[in-house]
């Protein structure tokens, strides 16, 4: 029996703008499945259809059809696909997609019915819902209310999809989530934590409360998606000022600049983040992990394996520069796989069999790289 689990989160917001990138993403999934040979594949997607979802949502169907025909998935005899594609309904649209595939060697799979409050067997075959997933009794889909971010009341495509399963009678929660981004780098510099960070915290706290209300029975739970956790730019600025950087030029509402006598610099504008500082940017930006502080607010309720990979965003969308960062935002660990204490305690006991990593290195997959977690499913579901 294949007892490995492969969890993947991937923001595909810029993937659909260049058709060849979709094929590369599918090929990358094939490499992961072939390498890890998982019993369970759980893929959480954000921004289905891309930035121009009205124009490109039809490309999601082509990608799905190609995956369904892929040879490397032929032994996954039960699958469930939830794609929120109904952009016509702005009150509910999240552009989230959750795909769950189960190897033929796994025992009976059941999914929680939110209406009957019982588990129903997943029959052999592909079970799909694309246009009105909000009416499904098997997933709880929420678009975050406008009041969670009053500064941008018309934002869409932010929310979560909750699902609960049993595999061989053992329960498991898998939750896809997408939280607000930083719209303006200058606002991120005004206070610590930033206004954006505050609103992300509020949205995640609300989500955790909803999850607990759906089912009070604790089981291994994984929340993975694009949390949009960003580096605290005030901390970055303070660090630079404490290490020889000084204000340069005229600070204005439009631009903030720092310079160092050795030629290093920082320049921040609405959608521009230029940092030349070898001490921070070397080693794949890992020296900037100390500014990645948002997750600390949840350290008592959510857990994560150690991050040993470079930021997942914002990567260049130039196929010739697959591992170079865009100069639009501070490189950040936006895409994460978090879990509750029960899941974390079990996985860390078997850490030698677990891997938490960034996929797609050396391949252009849009402005986000997929983040993956593998672990022994049998240990988690004891």
Structure tokens at 223: 């929340």
In the chain, the domains with their CATH numbers are: 4-230+292-380 (3.60.10.10), 233-277 (no CATH)
Are the beta carbons of 163 and 112 closer than 8 angstroms? yes
pLDDT at 86: 84
196-220 pLDDT per residue, tens: 999 999 999 999 999 999 876 789 9
Q: Cα angle vertex 31, ends 101, 352, to 5°?
A: 80
The strand pair at 170-178 and 221-226 is best described as parallel
pLDDT at 156: 62
pLDDT at 249: 77
Q: How many whole angstroms separate alpha carbon 255 and alpha carbon 357? A: 35
pLDDT at 50: 83
What are phi and psi for residue 344, nearest 5 degrees? -65, -45
pLDDT at 251: 67
Q: Give the chain's radius of gyration (CA, Å).
A: 21
Which stretches does DSSP call E strand in the chain? 4-11, 40-46, 78-83, 97-102, 109-113, 118-121, 125-129, 140-143, 159-167, 170-178, 221-226, 246-247, 256-259, 265-269, 272-276, 335-339, 355-358, 371-376
Regions of the chain short of the pLDDT cut 50? none
Q: Is the dihedral of CA 136, 168, 226, 209 positive or negative?
A: positive
Omega before residue 319 within 30° of 0, cis: no
pLDDT at 350: 67
């Amino acid at each position: 029996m294949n007892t490995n689990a492969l969890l993947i989160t991937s923001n595909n917001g810029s993937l659909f703008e260049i058709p060849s990138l979709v094929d590369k993403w599918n090929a990358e999934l094939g490499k992961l499945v072939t390498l890890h040979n998982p019993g369970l594949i759980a893929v959480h997607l954000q921004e289905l259809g891309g930035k121009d979802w009205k124009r490109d949502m039809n490309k999601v169907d082509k990608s799905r059809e190609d995956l369904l025909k892929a040879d490397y998935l032929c032994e996954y005899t039960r699958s469930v696909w939830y794609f929120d594609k109904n952009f016509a309904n702005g009150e509910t649209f999240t552009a989230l997609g959750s795909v769950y595939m189960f190897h033929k060697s796994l025992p009976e799979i059941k999914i929680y019915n939110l209406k009957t409050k019982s588990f129903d067997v997943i029959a052999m075959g592909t079970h799909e819902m694309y246009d009105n997933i909000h009416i499904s009794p098997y997933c709880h889909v929420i678009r975050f209310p406008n009041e969670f971010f009053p500064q941008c009341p018309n934002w869409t495509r932010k929310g979560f999809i909750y699902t609960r399963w049993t595999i061989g009678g053992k329960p498991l929660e898998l939750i896809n989530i997408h939280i607000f981004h930083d719209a303006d780098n200058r606002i991120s510099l005004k206070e610590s934590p930033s206004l954006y960070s505050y609103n992300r915290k509020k949205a995640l706290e609300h989500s955790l409360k909803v999850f607990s209300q759906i089912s009070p029975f604790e089981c291994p739970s994984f929340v993975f998606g694009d949390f949009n956790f960003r580096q605290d730019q005030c901390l970055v600025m303070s660090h630079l000022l404490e290490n020889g950087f000084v204000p340069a030029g005229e600070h204005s509402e439009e631009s903030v600049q720092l310079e160092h006598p050795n030629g290093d610099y920082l320049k921040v504008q609405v959608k521009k983040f230029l940092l030349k500082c070898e001490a921070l940017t070397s080693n794949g930006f890992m020296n900037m992990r100390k500014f990645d502080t948002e997750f600390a607010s949840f350290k008592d309720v959510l857990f994560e394996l150690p991050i040993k990979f470079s930021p997942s965003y914002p990567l260049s969308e130039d196929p010739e520069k697959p591992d170079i960062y865009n100069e639009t935002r501070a490189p950040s660990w936006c895409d994460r796989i978090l879990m509750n204490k029960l899941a974390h305690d079990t996985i860390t006991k078997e850490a030698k069999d677990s891997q938490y990593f960034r996929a797609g290195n050396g391949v252009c997959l849009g402005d986000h790289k997929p983040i993956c977690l593998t672990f022994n499913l049998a240990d988690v579901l004891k």
